[in-house]
């Protein structure tokens, strides 16, 4: 896991010069409904990153400028022995009127703390509305809304619409699981702790409880860690070797 060298807050001045705001591009690529084809479909069209295998991974989503909470998750994950921290998108919030320095600080801190950061709809909106300074816009354009890492499929929303669609139904979850590259897929965007399970061929997934340690069986699993924003922030600890998941409240 990476360290955190940017301080504790994203609601200050951000420190330093951030340059002029620049307009970002509209979404200019199509995303296939297959993880193999969709992986690396970044906002700039660049290829996504693939890292060496890790065993214990911490996962969070939907920070919405709560970077102090993100730093807390990073610290707790290190205490648990997690080797990587993944964030499934929406580090920033494009609707709160935050100044460019605050957005830049959030992006910089997420990049510093996390081994992988997905682009969410708020990153896309911030680019389209020209809310980022030039350096931050360039950094965020390298983020993808869809990734595959260590055999795990990752997406902010869904494969049909990786930025905006909410996965809330058994049919949507089943479709994601059939496209998953392995036993596990992860998504954000809904701000809700959620776990689905399905066989390789089942058209619909079934919903499972998110209490305690969940061990994967013969079915594939689709999980949402919840969100770091809101009154009940949570994150997820995934053991890729033991094939277990455990949701952790952030207190």
Task: Classify residue 197: in a domain, yes or no.
Answer: yes
Residue 18 lies in a domain: no
- Identify the residue with better confidence: 93 or 9: 93
Cα separations (Å) of 74 from 13, 91, 151, 250? 23, 14, 22, 11
Choose between 120 and 32: higher pLDDT: 120
| Residue 5 counted as domain residue | no
Q: CATH number of the domain that 145 lies in?
A: 3.60.21.10
Residue 49 lies in a domain: no
User: Does residue 130 sit within a domain?
Assistant: yes
Q: What is the pLDDT of residues 105-161, one digit of tens each?
A: 999 999 999 999 999 999 999 999 999 999 999 999 999 999 999 999 999 999 999
Q: Are 246 and 76 in contact (CB under 8 A)?
A: no
Q: Which residue has the higher pLDDT, 3 or 119?
A: 119
Residue 1's pLDDT is: 74
pLDDT of residue 38: 52
Q: Is residue 8 part of a domain?
A: no
Full-model pTM: 0.84
Contacts for 251 with CB less than 8 Å, ≥ 6 apart = none
Range of the domain at 166: 54-249
């Amino acid at each position: 896991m990476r360290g955190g060298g940017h301080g504790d807050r994203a609601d200050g001045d951000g420190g330093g010069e951030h340059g002029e705001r620049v307009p970002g591009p509209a979404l200019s690529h199509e995303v296939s409904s297959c993880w193999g084809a969709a992986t690396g479909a970044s906002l700039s069209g660049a290829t996504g990153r693939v890292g060496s295998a890790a065993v214990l991974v911490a996962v969070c989503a939907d920070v919405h400028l709560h970077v102090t909470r993100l730093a807390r998750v990073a610290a707790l994950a290190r205490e648990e022995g997690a080797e990587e921290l993944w964030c499934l998108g929406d580090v920033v919030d494009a609707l709160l009127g935050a100044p460019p320095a605050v957005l830049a600080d959030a992006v910089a801190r997420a990049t510093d703390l996390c081994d992988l950061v997905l682009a969410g709809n708020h990153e896309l909106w911030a680019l389209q509305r020209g809310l980022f300074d030039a350096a931050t816009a360039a950094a965020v354009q390298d983020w993808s809304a869809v990734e595959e890492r260590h055999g795990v499929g990752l997406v902010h929303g869904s494969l049909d619409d990786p930025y905006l669609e909410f996965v809330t139904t058994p049919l949507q979850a089943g479709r994601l699981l059939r496209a998953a590259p392995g036993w596990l897929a992860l998504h954000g965007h809904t701000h809700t702790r959620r776990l689905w399970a399905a066989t390789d061929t089942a058209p619909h997934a079934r919903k499972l409880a998110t209490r305690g340690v969940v061990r994967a069986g013969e079915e594939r699993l689709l999980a949402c860690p919840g969100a770091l924003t809101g009154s009940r922030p949570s994150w997820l600890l995934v053991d890729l070797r033991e094939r277990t998941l455990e949701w952790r409240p952030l207190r």
